[in-house]
Amino acid sequence: MSGHPDGLRILKKYAPSPSLELRYFPNGFAELVPSIDYGILFLMAFWSGPSVAAFAKLTQAMREMQAEDLELVVIDVDGVPDVYQLPHVKDLYGQAIAAPTGNGEAAFCQEGQIIQAAILGGGRTANQNDSHVREFLQVCQRHRKKVP
């Protein structure tokens, strides 16, 4: 299976800020989490309205909350279906997931470790999703590195 051929263009439509560091992986992610020093890993399902909406909310909240120093790493779940076997993703659902759910799953990573995972879309009202995204970003910001 392959990732979305226009994935990066679509992501940039929702994350137009030039100051936002965005990395897109349509077809693989071997050892990706250890490469994230301070950022968010987002599991994108382009076919899922809740996933795309969660990504849009996340990038909007990052701009509004001045959290654009977070790297944003996006994996296309169609190109990397085994990403749902990561322990932190399985923990979100309490079990192994056989197929992508498209609920806007994300993980805050620092120094190559997943600190917290969250489902940012689906199953809630738009206002609840917005609040949930902002709470998730607040956790990320509390871990912000202090630069001398």
Q: What is the pLDDT of residues 104-121, one digit of tens each?
A: 888 888 998 888 888 888
Domain ranges of the chain: 7-107+115-142
Give residue 148's pLDDT band: very low, low, confident or very high (50, 70, 90).
Answer: very low
What is the spatial order of strands in the sheet that 71-76 belongs to? Answer: 22-25, 71-76, 38-44, 105-110, 113-119
- With CA atoms as reference, report the closest residue to 24 among 39, 38, 44: 44
Nearest to 70 by CA among 15, 131, 121: 15
Alpha helix ranges (H) inside 65-143: 87-93, 126-142
The per-residue pLDDT for range 14-25, each reduced to its tens digit, is 887 777 888 998
Rg of the chain over Cα atoms, rounded to whole angstroms, equals: 14
Q: What is 7-107+115-142's CATH superfamily?
A: Glutaredoxin (3.40.30.10)
Secondary structure of residue 28 in the 3-state scheme: coil
